[in-house]
Amino acid sequence: MTKDAAAQPITHSTTIELCEPAPAELPVGSTLVMQIRVSCPAGCDLSGLPLMVTGPGGEVTTIEPRSNQELAPQEAALRDISLKVPPQVGEHVWSIRLPAHESAGAQHAECTLPISIRAKPHATSLAVWAIPSPVVMGERFSLKVGAKSAAGYELSGRRIQVSDQSGRVLGQGHLQAAPWPGTSALYWTEVELPAPDREGMFWCAVNFAAADIETPHEGSSSKFSVAIVRPPEHKLTIEVLEKDTKVPIEDAQVRLGAYGAATDPSGRAEVALPNGSYELTVWKVGYDTPGLTVDIHDDISVQVEAVIVPPENPDAAWLM
């Protein structure tokens, strides 16, 4: 071996790796905190060396080594890195670099680790409530619609549209300045719509474009249905009593197809109906009631006798 060869410094390779894989995509503007490990296959201690991070816009920051001298070697080799996803949708790449250096009597080669993350818009969601049922054909009705950003961004003033199945816009509204009471970010509005001139289930779609929000958001849509009925012609009065005592039963739920009501303290409920035949069901926890078929051709009253259902004995299976 020649003198020059003996003096030639040893060069070791170096490695930068993520402790856990980076997510393929994240919402714009979010922050990702990860741990990386810096190592030399020859076992050299690289814990005291800073790392350079080049961001998607070319900005360079330094990751300093951990300062705690009592860390175990495997812990000292770890670094914490925080990446801020740009506010633009698309692919973004960061580069983590360990410059070439001399350590423990050996030269160490430069190494880099690219991290690629796709920035996606924030998601939005819709809620529809206070839908009346049924609605008389040809009349106007209103309901409430709310939109929410998954990141909690303010959505006040943005437009909500309601369309029929063909895409024709039936009504629209602008989200109010304050969220719905009891929520932190569900911005809402009331929308008035025309009912069609035909009987049956009427399907609509709520659409929120989200195009005018400064921070990119995805639009969202949701469907709902309304039962459309003929104009009422007669009144049905239902009286619900306990069978043995004849005591009125309050707050029993009465259903006749799309029509519904609840009994008052006197055990009565009134429902306006068009001519036709209906299956009458009455329901309340703790009671059993018979089903009835009611033919409506005039104003009529019916009485329903409910039988008290005894509570189940949880130990019944052990008593057999």
Share of the chain above pLDDT 70, in %: 91
Point out the least confidently predicted range of 39-43, 142-146, 173-177, 238-242.
Answer: 39-43
pLDDT of residue 48: 79
**DSSP per residue over 70-90, as a string?**
TS-HHHHTEEEEEEEPPSSSE
Other residues' Cβ atoms within 10 Å of the Cβ of residue 222: 15
Pairing relation of β-strands 15-18 and 31-39? antiparallel
pLDDT (0 to 100) of residue 103: 74
Q: Which fold has domain 124-229?
A: Immunoglobulin-like (2.60.40)
Give the percent of the chain with pLDDT over 90.
78
Residue range 131-151: average pLDDT? 96
How far, in Å, are 116, 142, 145, 209, 305 from residue 192 at the CA level? 47, 4, 11, 19, 40
Q: Is the pLDDT of residue 33 over 70?
A: yes
Residue 1: what pLDDT? 45
- Tell me the fold of 12-120: Immunoglobulin-like (2.60.40)
Residue-range domain boundaries for the chain: 12-120, 124-229, 234-308
Residues 211 and 213: their CA atoms lie apart, in Å, by 6
First and final CA of the chain: distance in angstroms? 96
Q: Do domains 12-120 and 124-229 have the same CATH topology?
A: yes
Tokens of 122: 């924030």
pLDDT given at position 202: 96
Does domain 234-308 correspond to CATH entry 2.60.40.350?
A: no
- Mean pLDDT computed over every residue of the chain: 91
Distance CA 3, CA 138 (A): 102
The mean per-residue pLDDT over the stretch 140-155 comes to: 96
The stretch 100-118 carries a mean pLDDT of 89
Average pLDDT over residues 115-121: 97
Q: Write the pLDDT tens digit of every residue in 51-75.
A: 999 999 999 999 887 665 555 656 7
Query: What is the band of 206 on the pLDDT scale with cuts at 50, 70, 90?
Result: very high
Going by the DSSP 8-state scheme, the letter that residue 217 receives in this structure is B
Residues 33-55 have a mean pLDDT of 89
